[in-house]
Amino acid sequence: MPELGDDRLRLRALRLTDLDVLVAELGDSIGDRDEFRSRMHRMIEKAPTLEADGFVSYGIEADGSLVGDIQVRAPKGAWLPGTCELGISLFPAARGQGIGTGTVRLLVTELFRLGWFRVQAGTAVTNVAMRTVLERVGFSFEGVMRGFGADDHHGRQDYALYAILATDPRPA
């Protein structure tokens, strides 16, 4: 996918120079920092595409500064063709400013333009901020995936599953 965005918000390919910022800003949420850095380094060098690799990650810039990343996943054989999943990580200082909502809206619009039919996203049931973003963009709550995600104590937590279809009405 090409770069997306406007003067305030831009989605672009991640760069190796982004790694130090990502590791520092995302902190404990990424788990093992060395493993994360190594995995992201390999991914950036490979420059995967959604169609060929089933995964792509974009840097999110707001007002010219990196403020997080967003991933699109479409693992081969996991879902019906035309289905993909989003995951977003915003730096703490970037939260609560509409960046998450704008980013998800921008990417969903592009995915539908490219012919994807279903975009889904899961988040911890307790993640009210992300659930609100998804609902603002027009995603529908589909249910709870019990014990789906890891929690902060090496246990498991329930995730809320949301999805939006290309045929769904979306807020402007």
Tokens read off for 3: 């770069």
Q: What is the DSSP-derived secondary structure letter of residue 75?
A: -
**Angle of the 33-46 helix axis to the 19-26 helix axis, nearest 10:** 140
Q: 10 Å Cβ neighbour count for 73?
A: 18
The answer, yes or no, to whether residue 6 has pLDDT greater than 90, is no
Lookup result for tokens 């982004």: 18
Tokens read off for 39: 């995995």
Q: Per 3-state DSSP, what percentage of the chain is helix, strand, and coil (rounded to 5)?
A: 35, 35, 30
- The mean of the pLDDT values for the chain is 88
Query: Domains in the chain and their CATH numbers?
Result: 4-165 (3.40.630.30)
Rg, the chain, Cα only: 15
Strand partners, 121: 86, 162
Residue range 22-55, pLDDT digits in tens? 877 776 666 777 887 788 888 888 877 777 788 8
The whole-model pTM stands at 0.87
